[in-house]
A and B are shown apart, each in its own frame.
Chain A
Amino acid sequence: MAKNIHADQRFIVGLVNNDAVIINDIYKRCAHKIKSWITFNNGSEDDAADIFQEALMDIYRQGKYKSLELTCPFEPYLLLVCKRKWLNQIKKRSILPVTNSEEDLLHIGEDTFAQADELENQARQSDLFYSAFEKLGARCQEIISWSMKGEAQEKVAEALGVTYGYLRKKKSECMASLIKMVQSIKTEE
């Protein structure tokens, strides 16, 4: 069944296009709410800024690289993502939250929870893939990093001091090793 895209998809598009007006609008609508909520829950203004930026970058990446389609209103979605991020942070830092997290989120629709869950899931996947990447040999890591930067392969080969043919072959091998590593970590979990 086709997804029912919410009109607030414009915020995702604006973020992906680095649209100054739309991004400023997001800050105008949501920044003070997050600032109040996080400072009320034992965080600082800097914590609030970090969480807000992190949440927006997560959404931006999903919009740009994974074609995120919003099926719920943007504002409660962003607020929920920020709140969850902060609740995770304070758990790590052993700080007690002031607000009862469940009570506080009662008025948010199911769609919003589902989309926030999906974003969290993507973030977990990203960490998993990165841990697999880190397990590769240094040369493979170097080749994959360079290749993903979108540079011309001839230039990458020159920078790494290898032939073009070797680079092409090695890149495919390294990527295959990476996927194998991902599969093996998934099996272990």
Chain B
Amino acid sequence: MANEDKLTDVARYVEGDMEAVELQAFEVLLRADAGLQGLLAEYKDVHQTLKMKIAPDAQDKAVVNRLLELNGEYFRKDGKIMALNGYLKWISIAAVLVIGLLVWAPWSGGLYEKYTISREMSVAERGTGAEQKIEDAAALYNTGDFSGAAKILGPVYQSDPERAMVAYYYGISLIENSQEKEARKVLLKLYEGTSVFKYDALYNIALSYVKEKNDQEALVWLGKIPAGDHNYGKAKELIGKLK
């Protein structure tokens, strides 16, 4: 059999296009023909390799999205650095410091403001994960417009409640809008899951009670934060202040 015919037969065999009798005959031939076996292996290798490149399935896309979210967490915590020059640069730095002071508000003594986390919503900027709506919400969130952010994040969350990053920032936006009860529903679901936001969600549940001045409940939730978590130090300090 010529190479070309063999190739067509291998293709028809793998793609399930052979009739029963033909299939049986091909399998007999295959057992005896090492060249045909090699061709079959090559066919499968090309098929699988190409499939992963040109036809990613839903699971492949889900992994990419997870990596994009984690990249935002682990590589871009400080956000994008923009090139500014001279005078403009110093004005910007001064403005950032003033905003930072207003947000931190050390003189206010408010424990919620002092111990809050995740003041910046990081969005991966490339790929399918960075949808325009989320980017818009992040822009509002990062300027402190939590009401605007919640309005955008709400529907996105409702359409895909499993998307941990959206749920997390939606939860915080709700706390900021004094919708603590609603926020806790969102954050509790996140805490019960296995996403990277699990313990940050837990910490924010505790903070939502701090904001409501319900120290007793806040202490209960702060007590659940495990020793290895990055919020543990803050939680311990806050427990000391609430007691």
One of A18-26, A72-80, A96-104, A106-114 contacting the partner: A18-26
Quick check: is A178 within 8 A (CB to CB) of the other chain?
Answer: yes
Q: Would you call B55 and A20 a contact (CB within 8 A)?
A: no
A18-B57 in contact (CB<8A):
no
A61 and B15 contact, Cβ closer than 8 Å, known pairs A27-B73, A49-B76, A52-B75: no
> Could you say which of A31, A45, A60, A145 has the most chain B C-beta atoms within 10 Å of its C-beta?
A45
- Name A residues whose Cβ lies closer than 8 Å to a Cβ of B: 15, 18-21, 23-24, 27-28, 31-32, 35, 45-46, 48-49, 52-53, 56-57, 60-61, 64-66, 122, 125-126, 129-130, 132-133, 144-145, 147-150, 168-169, 171-173, 175-176, 178-180, 182-183
Among listed B6-14, B20-28, B136-144, B166-174, interface-contacting one: B6-14
Q: Which 6 A-B pairs have the closest CB atoms?
A: A148-B55, A49-B75, A31-B74, A176-B7, A172-B11, A175-B11
Query: Do A130 and B54 form a contact, CB below 8 Å, given A46-B75, A172-B12, A175-B11?
Result: yes
Give, as a whole number of angstroms, the nearest-CB distance from A21 to chain B.
5
Cβ of B231 under 8 Å from chain A: no
Interface contact A46-B52, CB-CB below 8 Å: no
SS class, residues of chain A in contact with chain B:
helix
A149 to B51, CA, bound (A): 8
Q: Does B70 contact A (CB under 8 A)?
A: yes
**Which B55-79 residues have C-beta < 8 A from chain A?**
55, 57, 59-60, 62-64, 66-68, 70-71, 73-76, 78
Please name all residues of chain A whose beta carbon is closer than 8 Å to the beta carbon of B39 when the two chains form the complex.
179
For B43, what are the chain A residues with a Cβ–Cβ distance below 8 Å?
Answer: 175, 179
Contact partner of A179 (CB less than 8 A), chosen from B11, B59, B194, is: B11
Instruction: Let me know if B160 is at the binding interface, CB within 8 A.
Output: no
- Docked Cα-Cα span, A149 to B46, in Å, equals 15
Asked if A27 contacts B66 (CB within 8 A), the reply is: no
**For window 20-50 of chain B, which residues contact chain A by CB distance below 8 Å?**
39, 42-43, 45-50
Bound Cα distance from A145 to B47, whole angstroms: 11
Instruction: A173 to B66: give the CA distance in the assembly, Å.
Output: 38
Known: A49-B71, A148-B47, A180-B4. 7 other contacts (CB 8 A): A18-B63, A20-B164, A46-B76, A65-B52, A132-B46, A176-B4, A183-B42
CB within 8 Å for A56 and B196 given contacts A48-B75, A61-B52, A126-B53: no
Would you call A60 and B42 a contact (CB within 8 A)? Answer: no
Interface of B is mostly: helix
Q: Which of A53, A175, A176 contacts B67 (CB 8 A)?
A: A53
B54 & A32 in contact (Cβ 8 Å cutoff) = no
> A173 CA to B11 CA in the complex, in Å?
7
The answer to whether B48 touches A173, judged by C-beta atoms less than 8 angstroms apart, is no
A57 to B60, CA, bound (A): 9
| Distance (whole angstroms) from the CB of B140 to the closest CB of chain A | 23
Q: Which residues from chain B contact A132 at a C-beta distance below 8 Å?
A: 46
List 23 A-B pairs, Cβ < 8 Å. Answer: A18-B62, A20-B195, A24-B196, A28-B74, A31-B75, A45-B78, A46-B76, A53-B64, A53-B67, A57-B64, A65-B48, A130-B50, A133-B50, A133-B54, A148-B51, A149-B57, A150-B55, A150-B57, A168-B17, A169-B17, A171-B15, A172-B8, A173-B11
